Every structure is written in structure tokens, then in C-alpha cells.
């Protein structure tokens, strides 16, 4: 991935306890030889000091729109023109709301209005504030205007609440910043990706499914789109926003996903089967909710299951307009052996395998992947160590492009 040497990056810090993390982000940027200028909102100064940020960034810290010495040279306009990228970390609910309506009542909001550089937000706030409809509406509106967001993450918060609202970790924001400067090397490519879990109905209320969150598939979709590809996601049970520039097709069952895949695959260059598809489905779906019979002598129930279609094998077996086919294998033991077997048996071009034993991989922000692909009769492999799914997505794409272009 392209380094950040001599890139001009403005870091805006708003009022929030996560501001202390931004010091580490600035350190990472300086280590990559980026030029960093820091802008503080008045509230941010309650959490981090200008002196600390000046020492870390190596530059004067801008604090006020009404600083006579700075504004003598129209400092906010100078900063706006200087920036290659503006990063707001943390981005508070208040700042996000003000940015959405175009206010310019402090230096940072004015700079954002005056710059032509891309803007990246790293939201951080109480989980209830984040889930408020108005906050979600503000973020959605900003994204339609081209503002990018990373996070927030879920977890324990400083206030004691647990939920989504924690600012992304500095390393994750750093990766997103790097991504902002990646050249669009996938222009002209079309990619279809399956993501998330399928749901196989038992009755109108219950279903069989699994723990897949769809995060890996959506990370791949986001990365391909940022690199210039035309991307379609066939999404099962996924509670994630659709990445900017990605077309989304929502499905429920494995059979639904198969039909969508068969329809889309012949018109795309690359097919990536990242979804966690249920291997079996109930032989019969009850039309009414199943009830416990109080007269039953046992406390057990027997379900008859039938095998679901193998979506990735079906696409890999296409005789006409077959795309480059990449599979995923989530295993709990003998990961490499099972992955190699699936690669050969299903006639895949590449497979990405990960260990999901003890809950690893599912619903996590990070993952580790082993890649396998065929070159003649030889199976090659490459290990991608534990990293954010955003970073892994780019490394997987690099590997796919290398093999696709051969």
C-alpha cells in the first residue's frame, strides 16, 4: 500500500475522552513521514493539551478562528488549501451535526467548509447518542456527500455503557488514511461478493443460521469499490451499512443467494463467496408457529434437514462466462487441510481460510487468513497475520489481482 511520505494531513480533534488516542495516531503518521497539522476545538482542549500535540506533530497547533496572528494570513484558508486529507478523530455527535448543516462557528468546522480535500470522520460518543435516529441521519447524509467514516467500534465505554460508539483504534484509522491515498487499480473490473449468514426457516418465527456478521465481505466490497471496481454485494443476515459505491442485493435463504449468484456471476469478472451459507435447511417449513405439546412424553424434537446447494461450487462449475472464483473456508480444526481439499474439490481459483474455533473471526473487528491457490498441479499458500478486516481486505485483494491477471 502507498506510504504517506510528504502527504499533508490535518488532524481535527473534537471534545471527547477518546481524544487521548489521537496522540498515537499522530505518532503513526509522523513515523510514516507525513506532514501533520493539528486543529483543536475549544472542547477538545479539556482532554488534550496543545503543548503535547505540538511536541508530537512538530507543528504549531491551531485552536481559534479568532486568533489575530494566525488570521492575519487567513490561517483557516491556508490550512484548508494545504491539506491533502482532513481527519476528524474523535468526531463528536455535536461536530457531526454541525458539519452536516454547514456551520462555520469554529476553526475546524470553517476549515472543513473551505477545503477541497477529502474528509474522514472517526465518530466517538455514548452508544445511545450514536444510535439516535438524528445521528444516523447526519452520518448518512454526510456520506452521500463524499465524507468517509471509519467505525465506531463496539465495547465498554468510559461512561460505563457497553455498545457501539468507541472511536476506532489508532491503527485502524491509520489504515483508513493509507487507503485514502491508494490508486484506483481496479478500474474496469466488476466484482460480486456474497456476505453474511443465510437464514433457513423452520416456521414463521424460527430459523436456522450462524454467527457470521458479514464484516469480512463488506470490508472486501468497500476496498474493491475504493480501488475503482464496480461491486455488487449479495447480503444475507447483515446489520451493516452498504459501503459507498456498492450495489446491494438482500436475500434470506441459501436458495435465494444461489439464484442471485447465478444471475450476477456471468456478468462479473470476479466472484467471491464470503457468505456463511447454511449447509442444510429444514425439509418442511411449518406454516404456523410450532407449539410445544404438553402431552408429549419426551422433551426432544426431531427435525429432518436436507442439503442446501453449494453456491461457490455451482459458480465454479459454470461453462460459459465463468468468473475468477474465490471461496472462503471457516474451520475449527485442520484449517489448511480442509481448505486445500475445498480448493481442489470445488474447482476454485483461490480460497481464503480462517480459524473460527472458540469464537475467533465471527463478529470480530480483526481476523487472520491463510490463502491457497493453484498453479498447475502445485498449491501455493500465503499467511496473512492478525489484522483489522479493513487491512486484510486490501491484502486479500492484492493477492486476488495477482492471480486474476495471470
What is the domain-level CATH number for residue 103?
3.40.50.1950
Query: How deeply is 336 buried, as exposed, middle or buried, from its count of CB atoms within 10 A (0-12, 13-18, 19+)?
Result: middle
| Assigned domain for 225 exists | yes
Q: Which of 125, 149, 180 is the last residue of a domain?
A: 180
What's the pLDDT score for residue 362? 54
Instruction: Report the candidate in 89, 87, 91, 97 with the shortest Cα–Cα distance to residue 132.
Output: 97
Q: What sign has the CA pseudo-torsion 338, 357, 242, 281?
A: positive
Q: Which residues are catalytic?
A: 159
DSSP state of 300: -
Q: Is the pTM of this model over 0.85?
A: no
45 is in an annotated binding site: no
What's the pLDDT score for residue 260? 96
| Assigned domain for 40 exists | yes
Structural domain harbouring 286: 190-291+298-405
152 is in an annotated binding site: no
What's the pLDDT score for residue 7? 92
Instruction: Report the candidate in 26, 31, 18 with the shortest Cα–Cα distance to residue 122.
Output: 18
What's the pLDDT score for residue 363? 52
What's the pLDDT score for residue 378? 81
Q: What sign has the CA pseudo-torsion 201, 207, 211, 214?
A: positive
Length of the chain: 406
279 is in an annotated binding site: yes
Q: Is 189 helix (H, G, I), strand (E, B) or coil?
A: coil
Same domain, 139 and 209: no
Same domain, 81 and 212: no
Instruction: Report the candidate in 68, 58, 60, 14 with the shortest Cα–Cα distance to residue 40.
Output: 14
Same domain, 202 and 320: yes
> Other CB atoms closer than 10 Å to residue 74's CB: what's the count?
12
Domain count, the chain: 2
For residues 199 and 239, give the distance between their C-alpha atoms in angstroms, rounded to a whole number.
Answer: 14
What's the pLDDT score for residue 56? 92
What's the pLDDT score for residue 267? 94
Same domain, 167 and 200: no
Listed as ranges, residues in the chain with pLDDT below 70 are 1-2, 66-76, 293-298, 357-365
Same domain, 308 and 195: yes
23 is in an annotated binding site: no
Write 101-105 long-range contacts (CB < 8 A, 24+).
none
| Assigned domain for 90 exists | yes
Same domain, 19 and 166: yes
What's the pLDDT score for residue 1? 42
310 is in an annotated binding site: yes
346 is in an annotated binding site: yes
What's the pLDDT score for residue 365? 64
Same domain, 230 and 369: yes
Q: Which of 159, 180, 201 is the last residue of a domain?
A: 180
What are the strands of the beta sheet with 85-91, ordered from one edge? 35-40, 8-13, 85-91, 119-123, 148-149
Tell me the β-bridge partners of 162: 156
351 is in an annotated binding site: no
Same domain, 22 and 56: yes
| Assigned domain for 1 exists | no
For residues 110 and 104, give the distance between their C-alpha atoms in angstroms, rounded to a whole number.
Answer: 4
Q: Where are the beta strands (DSSP E) in 308-349?
A: 324-331
Q: Domain of 217: which CATH number?
A: 3.40.50.10300
What's the pLDDT score for residue 406? 78
Nine-digit cell string for 86: 482532513
For residues 338 and 218, give the distance between their C-alpha atoms in angstroms, rounded to a whole number.
Answer: 24
Amino acid at each position: 500500500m502507498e506510504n504517506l511520505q510528504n502527504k499533508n494531513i490535518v488532524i481535527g480533534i473534537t471534545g471527547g475522552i477518546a481524544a487521548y488516542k489521537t496522540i498515537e495516531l499522530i505518532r503513526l503518521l509522523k513515523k510514516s513521514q507525513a506532514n501533520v497539522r493539528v486543529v483543536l476545538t475549544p472542547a477538545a482542549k479539556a482532554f488534550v493539551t496543545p503543548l503535547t500535540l505540538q511536541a508530537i506533530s512538530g507543528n504549531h497547533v491551531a485552536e481559534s478562528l479568532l486568533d489575530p496572528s494566525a488570521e492575519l494570513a487567513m490561517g483557516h484558508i491556508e490550512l484548508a488549501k494545504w491539506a491533502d486529507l482532513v481527519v476528524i478523530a474523535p468526531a463528536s455527535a455535536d461536530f457531526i451535526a454541525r458539519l452536516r448543516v454547514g456551520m462555520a462557528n469554529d476553526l475546524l468546522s470553517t476549515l472543513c467548509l473551505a477545503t477541497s480535500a477529502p474528509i474522514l470522520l472517526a465518530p466517538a460518543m455514548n452508544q445511545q447518542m450514536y444510535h439516535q435516529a438524528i445521528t444516523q441521519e447526519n452520518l448518512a447524509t454526510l456520506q452521500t456527500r463524499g465524507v468517509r467514516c471509519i467505525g465506531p467500534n463496539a465495547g465498554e465505554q468510559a461512561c460505563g455503557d457497553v455498545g457501539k460508539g468507541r472511536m476506532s483504534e489508532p491503527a485502524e484509522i491509520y489504515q483508513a488514511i493509507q487507503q485514502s491515498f491508494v490508486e484506483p487499480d481496479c478500474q474496469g473490473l466488476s466484482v460480486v461478493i456474497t456476505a453474511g449468514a443465510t437464514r433457513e426457516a423452520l416456521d414463521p418465527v424460527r430459523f436456522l443460521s450462524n454467527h457470521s456478521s458479514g464484516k469480512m465481505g463488506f470490508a472486501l466490497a468497500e476496498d474493491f469499490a475504493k480501488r475503482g471496481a464496480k461491486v455488487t454485494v449479495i447480503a444475507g443476515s447483515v446489520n451493516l451499512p452498504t459501503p459507498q459505491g456498492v450495489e446491494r442485493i438482500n436475500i434470506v435463504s441459501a436458495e435465494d443467494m444461489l439464484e442471485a449468484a447465478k444471475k450476477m456471476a456471468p456478468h462479473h469478472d470476479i466472484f467471491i463467496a464470503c457468505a456463511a451459507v447454511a449447509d442444510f435447511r429444514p425439509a418442511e417449513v411449518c406454516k404456523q408457529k410450532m407449539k410445544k405439546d404438553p402431552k408429549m412424553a419426551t422433551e426432544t424434537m426431531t427435525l429432518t434437514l436436507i442439503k442446501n446447494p453449494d453456491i461457490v461450487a455451482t459458480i465454479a462449475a459454470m461453462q460459459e462466462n465463468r468468473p475468477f472464483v474465490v471461496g472462503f473456508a471457516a474451520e475449527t480444526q485442520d484449517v489448511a487441510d480442509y481448505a486445500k481439499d475445498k480448493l481442489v474439490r470445488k474447482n476454485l481459483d483461490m480460497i481464503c481460510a480462517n480459524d473460527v474455533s472458540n469464537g475467533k473471526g465471527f463478529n470480530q473487528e480483526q481476523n487472520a487468513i491463510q490463502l491457497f491457490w493453484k498453479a498447475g498441479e502445485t498449491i501455493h499458500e500465503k499467511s496473512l497475520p492478525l489484522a483489522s478486516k479493513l487491512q486484510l481486505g486490501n491484502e486479500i485483494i492484492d493477492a486476488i489481482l495477482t492471480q486474476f491477471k495471470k
